[in-house]
Each structure stands twice: as C-alpha cells, then as structure tokens.
C-alpha cells in the first residue's frame, strides 16, 4: 500500500520505525529539528510518533545538550511484561496458557533430541547428572532454579528464539496469575520432587540418546507435573 490514503501519523510512524530498525541499537537518529526535516512532518506529528515508538521499545528520546532521538530495541522482558499484562484483561480459559506452553515445550524437546552434535549431548548429560542427584527434600526454589537452567540450555541448543519468546510470555502470564507453591514441608512436596526428578531425567536421557518420540513423551509428562503442582495450589487459594 502506498503512502496515499494513509494518515500522517501512520506514514511518519512507518518511516521513523524504518530508520530505527536500519540503525544500530543506541545510534543517534538525529535531533528533533533534524527528524522534522527528514521525515517531512510537523513537530507535533513527530512527537506523537516518538511516543508510539518509545512504547514499542524502538526509540529512546533524550533531552538536554547531548539529547536527541536514538534507535532502540525492545528486550524480551519488556515484551513479556506487556503481553502478559494484556492477557490479564482478556476473558479466557486460564488453563489454555499452560496448555500452549506445554505444546511449545514438547516441540522444542523434539528438536533438541534431533540435534546430533557432541556438544549438545555433553550439555544434556551434565544436566541429567545434576537432576538425578537432586534429593527428595530439595526446596521448590531449588527445583524451579534447576528446571529454568536446563530449559534455557535446551532453548539455546535448538536456537528456538521465537518459540522461547512465546513460551516465556505464557510463563510470565502464569507467574502473574498463579502463585508459586512454597509449601516445602508438606508430605506432597517430596512426592512432587521425586516425580519431577524422575521424569526430567527421562526427558534429558531421551534427548541425549536422540530418541525423539520418547523425549516428546517425557516432555509432556514433565509439563503435566508442573501443571498439576501449580493448579493444585491455585485451586486451594481460590477456595472461599
């Protein structure tokens, strides 16, 4: 679609966004006067556009002698916080969030199991030993920390950046919505740790052995264990 028929704000936004994306992160795009001249729009339009792009994380405006308009890039945490906050405004089945996260994780584990490099195998074997050595009296915090570390390593191995972003958006929403369990002393906690440990070892072993189907099955089970644990706590807190 040509610029004809578009609003001034839309055209100016597209042009300034293009300038920012074409420049390095942090690069000076110009002063306000320079951008008014470069974009060919009024000062008020450029200021409106700048506010829009600041919210997108693609622009930083600094005032003062060394000020100006600078290219920027949104970080993953900003995106996760913004989208998860928006999700809270929607009327939806909250279990859909964990269901989507589980489906994404299974696909990443499939991809990891198809990675035949020696480096990948060594990394996965290292996490398998760490998980296997976890004692049943480990705290929920310890379990979660190890799970996060192994998850990050698998995402890195598969270079699944887009899936990782969507997965983390779902997890950010889940964290905002569902309280994390902190009942490390309850009888059920030790059972949770043992069950998660055994399932996670199976998942990691299948990845290391390049057994795609077994890895996918184990990944589903690992996610079910987390789902059941979080939802059991949420339902308990939701009771009148």
Predicted confidence pLDDT, tens digits, the chain (240 residues): 445 546 889 899 999 999 999 999 999 999 999 999 999 999 999 999 999 888 888 899 998 888 899 999 877 777 777 777 777 777 777 778 778 888 999 999 999 999 889 989 999 999 999 999 999 889 988 999 999 999 999 999 999 988 998 888 887 777 666 655 555 566 788 899 999 999 999 999 999 999 999 999 999 999 999 888 877 665 555 444
Predicted model pTM: 0.68
Question: Residue 222's closest CA among 147, 155, 153?
Answer: 147
- Quote the DSSP letter at residue 185: T
Q: Which domains does the chain have, with CATH numbers?
A: 8-71 (1.10.10.10), 77-238 (1.20.120)
Checking DSSP bridges between strand 68-71 and strand 59-62, what pairing results, if any? Answer: antiparallel
Locate tokens 């964990």: which residue? 98
CA distance 121 to 205: 9
Locate tokens 């450029």: which residue? 46
CA distance 73 to 79: 11
Sheet of strand 28-30: strand arrangement: 28-30, 68-71, 59-62
CA distance 147 to 219: 12
CA distance 46 to 49: 5
Residue-level pLDDT at 239: 43
Query: 69 - beta bridge partners?
Result: 30, 61
192: which 2 tokens? Answer: 């949770």
pLDDT in tens, 163-215: 998 888 887 777 666 655 555 566 788 899 999 999 999 999 999 999 999 99
């Amino acid at each position: 679609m040509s610029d004809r028929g578009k609003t001034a704000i839309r055209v100016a936004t597209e042009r300034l966004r293009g300038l920012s994306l074409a420049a390095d992160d942090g690069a000076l795009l110009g002063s306000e006067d320079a951008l008014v001249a470069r974009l060919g729009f009024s000062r008020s339009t450029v200021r409106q556009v700048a506010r829009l792009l600041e919210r997108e994380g693609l622009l930083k405006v600094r005032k003062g002698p060394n000020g100006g308009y600078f290219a920027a890039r949104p970080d993953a945490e900003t995106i996760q916080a913004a989208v998860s906050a928006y999700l809270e405004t929607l009327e939806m089945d909250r279990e859909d969030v964990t269901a989507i996260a589980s489906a994404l994780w299974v696909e990443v584990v499939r991809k990891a199991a198809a990675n035949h490099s020696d480096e990948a195998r060594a990394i996965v074997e290292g996490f398998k030993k760490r998980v296997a050595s976890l004692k049943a009296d480990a705290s929920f915090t310890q379990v979660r920390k190890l799970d996060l570390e192994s998850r990050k390593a698998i995402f890195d191995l598969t270079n699944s950046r887009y899936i990782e972003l969507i997965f983390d958006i779902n997890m950010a929403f889940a964290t905002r919505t569902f309280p994390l369990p902190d009942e490390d002393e309850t009888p059920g906690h030790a059972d949770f740790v043992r069950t998660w440990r055994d399932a996670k070892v199976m998942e990691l072993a299948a990845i290391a052995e390049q057994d795609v189907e077994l890895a996918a099955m184990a990944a589903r089970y690992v996610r079910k264990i987390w789902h059941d644990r979080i939802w059991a706590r949420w339902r308990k807190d939701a009771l009148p």
